[in-house]
């Protein structure tokens, strides 16, 4: 996973408990999942901001012709 960092953070106990109930995991795994989702949300926002600014030349019909259904 790369370089690791140990942190100390004061978090509301109820928030941590609710998050752990959602993941069914311990505190570390729950925090990893939350941070990954937050980072992905930023990526999604960046991609959405490109809407209408990037031209993609894609021939949908040609891509269907390439498939083999045997």
Separation of alpha carbons 26 and 10, rounded Å: 16
Separation of alpha carbons 16 and 12, rounded Å: 6
**Secondary structure of 6-55 as H, E, C letters:** CCCCCCCHHHHHHHHHHHCCCHHHHHHHHHHHHHHHHHHHHHHHCCCCCC
Inform me whether the pLDDT recorded for 69 exceeds 70: no
Inform me whether the pLDDT recorded for 66 exceeds 90: no
Q: What is the pLDDT of residues 3-62, one digit of tens each?
A: 999 999 999 999 999 999 999 999 999 999 999 999 999 999 999 999 889 888 888 888
pLDDT at 70: 64
59, part of any domain: yes
Question: Can you give the residue range of the structural domain that contains 40?
Answer: 13-65
pTM: predicted TM-score of the whole model, two decimal places: 0.68
Domain count of the fold of the chain = 1
3, part of any domain: no
């Amino acid at each position: 996973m790369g370089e690791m960092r140990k942190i100390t953070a004061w978090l509301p106990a109820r928030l941590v408990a609710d998050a752990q109930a959602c993941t069914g995991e311990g505190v570390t795994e729950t925090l990893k999942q939350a941070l990954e989702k937050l980072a992905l949300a930023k990526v999604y926002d960046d991609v959405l901001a490109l809407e209408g600014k990037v031209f993609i030349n894609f021939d949908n019909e040609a891509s269907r012709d390439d498939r083999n259904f045997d």
